[in-house]
Amino acid sequence: MDWHIIIAAVIKIVVFVFLVTLPMVAMSVWAERRVSAAIQDRVGPNRVGPFGLLQAVADGIKFLLKEDFTPNHVNKFYFWLAPALTMVPALLTCAVLPFGSQLFGEKMVIADLDVGPLFVFSIASLTVYGIVLAGWSSNSKYSFLGGVRSTSQMISYEISLGLSIVPLIMIYGELNLGRIVQEQAINGWALLPLWGEGLSLKGFILAIPIFISFIIFTTSMFAETNRLPFDLPECETELVAGYHTEYSSMKFALFFLGEYAAMIIGSGLAVTLFLGGWSLPFGWLAPSGIDAEIPWWHGLIHIGTYFAKVIGFILFFIVVRWTLPRFRYDQLMRLGWVFFFEIALFNVVLTAILLAIFK
């Protein structure tokens, strides 16, 4: 192992995870409040800094300075562990997302694994422990019900989430996210095959199963991140605040931020798989191959494109939250097991048949 590989990895981790993703988490809280205000015909936070942009800093200071209260009836060890367990997996999954093509000959991905989407799913499946342990260790019935709801919800939707991307993997024959994006840059994004080899009968017909996948993937992502219309684990009209009822100050904030971090990673994965990741539309400035040399300013544009797409997707998440009402729990489970699971399975078979017809 050479030192320059380790140093490059450390720089990428610090810049991508700590200097970009974490501030994005804070900023998406601000965006959520501003967008919700706009939808409800209010103004929203606009006092701290220009357009209220520094509201996130004020919120952070407030959370840190508040009294950190641990109730007497909780299981101390797991009560302290749970908030960390929701935040850490969300940030770990950043490792395999390609957030740009190359910069100075260095691939813009922290770990260029050949099992990209599987890695994201496996680490994201650990997020559930944070919520379950929070619900259990709080020793209160509302928290516990929230934790139980969240467990069954996340396990159910993990299945449709995993199955929904199988057609995509069959079409690309590849589990390396970097190579999937490179393929999309040249031959059309999975959802918009409008250039390169995608501009053909095969490309258009294969876009049908991909579109079904996209719908299932996005909806399951809402359920996995516990966001409205699927935020049953913290449903305030029934469960006070669900699994984080007993939490206060920074420990509560970690749950809150973990949800947004999971949302950002989910958006990143959706953009990477379905909307061409860092690539510009119509093959503009697309590198000819995964290892082809490109000028540094192309690399910067690719990084900018990726984050622009992710921000667009986060805004979509936020608008959905303030538009749709909450589901009932049995409706949520029926949607997951009776509709999405079957449609995703059918979609895999459909893709296999289409791939056999258009070799």
The binding site for other proteins (CB under 8 A) comprises 1, 78, 113-115, 118-119, 121-123, 125-126, 128-129, 132-133, 136, 144, 147-148, 151-152, 154-155, 158, 173-176, 179
Distance of closest approach, residue 217 Cβ to other proteins, in angstroms: 17
Distance of closest approach, residue 136 Cβ to other proteins, in angstroms: 5
Query: For residues 244 and 309, which CB has a smaller minimum distance to other proteins in the complex?
Result: 244
Distance of closest approach, residue 58 Cβ to other proteins, in angstroms: 36
Contact between 108 and 100 under an 8 Å Cβ cutoff? The reply is yes
Distance of closest approach, residue 115 Cβ to other proteins, in angstroms: 5
What is the three-class DSSP state of 100?
Answer: coil
Query: For residues 55 and 220, which CB has a smaller minimum distance to other proteins in the complex?
Result: 220
Query: For residues 52 and 178, which CB has a smaller minimum distance to other proteins in the complex?
Result: 178
Query: For residues 96 and 275, which CB has a smaller minimum distance to other proteins in the complex?
Result: 96
Query: For residues 131 and 261, which CB has a smaller minimum distance to other proteins in the complex?
Result: 131
- CB neighbourhood size of 342 (10 A): 12
Query: For residues 89 and 268, which CB has a smaller minimum distance to other proteins in the complex?
Result: 89
Distance of closest approach, residue 182 Cβ to other proteins, in angstroms: 10
The one-letter amino acid code at 20 reads V
Between the CA of residue 257 and those of 56, 262, 280, what are the distances in Å?
11, 9, 30
Compute φ and ψ for 297, nearest 5 degrees.
-75, -25
The total number of residues shown for the chain amounts to 359
Q: In this structure, what token pair is assigned to residue 73? A: 């009836």
Between the CA of residue 109 and those of 10, 205, 277, 293, 357, what are the distances in Å?
11, 31, 12, 16, 35
Contact between 132 and 105 under an 8 Å Cβ cutoff? The reply is no
For 39-74, b/e burial (b = at least 16 CB within 10 A) is eeeeebbeeeeeebeebbeebeeebeeeeeeeeeeb
Compute φ and ψ for 334, nearest 5 degrees.
-65, -45
Query: For residues 236 and 291, which CB has a smaller minimum distance to other proteins in the complex?
Result: 291
Between the CA of residue 24 and those of 18, 264, 318, what are the distances in Å?
10, 8, 14
Distance of CA 327 to the CA centre of its chain: 21
Distance of closest approach, residue 108 Cβ to other proteins, in angstroms: 19
Peptide bond into 229 cis (omega under 30): yes
Distance of closest approach, residue 40 Cβ to other proteins, in angstroms: 37
What is the three-class DSSP state of 102?
Answer: strand
Query: For residues 132 and 314, which CB has a smaller minimum distance to other proteins in the complex?
Result: 132
Distance of closest approach, residue 72 Cβ to other proteins, in angstroms: 16
Distance of closest approach, residue 118 Cβ to other proteins, in angstroms: 5
Query: For residues 48 and 170, which CB has a smaller minimum distance to other proteins in the complex?
Result: 170
